[in-house]
Amino acid sequence: MTSLDPAVAREAWRLAEPLHAMVYFVPEATERYEALGISASAGYFASRGGVFGAVGPGPVVATFYNFHPDRVARYLPAVWATTTPAAAIEARLAAADAALHRGLGDALSSDGVAEAATLARRAAESAIFHQAGRPLYAAHAGLEWPKEPHLVLWHAQMLLREFRGDGHVAALLLGGVTGLQSMILHAASGQADGGFLRASRGWSREEWAAETESLRSQGLMAGDDLTGKGRDLRAHLEAETDRLAAPAYEILGTDGCARLAELARPLSRTLVKAGFLGGAAPARPR
């Protein structure tokens, strides 16, 4: 339990998240994965799932939660015949470095970035005391920290994202919501592009349509929109996710979270406005 308002922690995470998430959309990542002899899609699974070692699809399907198992199996374990987990993880960090330099330039050497990195690292490291039941966070927490402040900030936000994501999966499981259902409900809320989610996670139109009909039969959707029951479920899942993510930020307190959000906002806004997250960009940081 934490005394910190989960909404305060959520805002700190939301306003910093583009600084991390952009690495999954920028051309720098594609270039570095291709230099290893693998595709961008293979690189995604190898660099993020590689924290578990040279695994097959099982651990990734389980922890990433909303990808079609066949899509994951297309790349794992085959990718390990071409590269190694360490090389894929290193390529992802190098891509983040190059993309942040391209997007933010001289701002990366500012006192603000250094301060934001210090705050985010404190939160990310404190989360280790709450790692039980959080496999993606725990595995990533074993990686070596980079040295440069902007990469410390990226790495810390990556850890905080995985910490939050592990909690979100727990909330979905307890709520009886599958990965595919969670994406359909997210798209129905108007906060995400359903076509992008379906295609990027490897689900067919038929599978998406069938699961949508199932949600309608449960009274969670009417047509392509959420019902009141569906909105209540979404609100409950988000509140539970916020609650489970908050312990990582308690060490910062309300003022520290507000300061991290303040420092991250202009940096994230710059990346979002420049299209670094493509069509998957979250709501623009205010």
pLDDT tens-digit profile, the chain (286 residues):
678 999 999 999 999 999 999 999 999 999 999 999 999 999 999 999 999 999 999 999 999 999 999 999 999 999 999 999 999 999 999 999 999 999 999 999 999 999 999 999 999 999 999 999 999 999 999 999 999 999 999 999 999 999 999 999 999 999 999 999 999 999 999 999 999 999 999 999 999 999 999 999 999 999 999 999 999 999 999 999 999 999 999 999 999 999 999 999 999 999 999 999 985 544 434 3
Which helix (H) or strand (E) element contains residue 45?
helix 40-49
Task: In whole angstroms, give the CA distance from residue 64 to residue 69.
Answer: 10
Contact assessment for residue 37 and residue 22, using Cβ atoms and an 8 Å cutoff: no
Each residue's pLDDT tens digit, 124-134: 999 999 999 99
DSSP characters over 215-281: HHHTTSEETTEE-HHHHHHHHHHHHHHHHHHGGGGTTTHHHHHHHHHHHHHHHHHHHHHTTTTGGG-
Contact assessment for residue 24 and residue 44, using Cβ atoms and an 8 Å cutoff: yes
Query: What DSSP character marks residue 37?
Result: T
CA 30 to chain centre: 18
Task: In whole angstroms, give the CA distance from residue 142 to residue 190.
Answer: 36
Q: What is the pTM of this model?
A: 0.96
CA angle 165, 166, 170 (to 5 degrees): 115
Tell me the residue type at 65.
Answer: Y
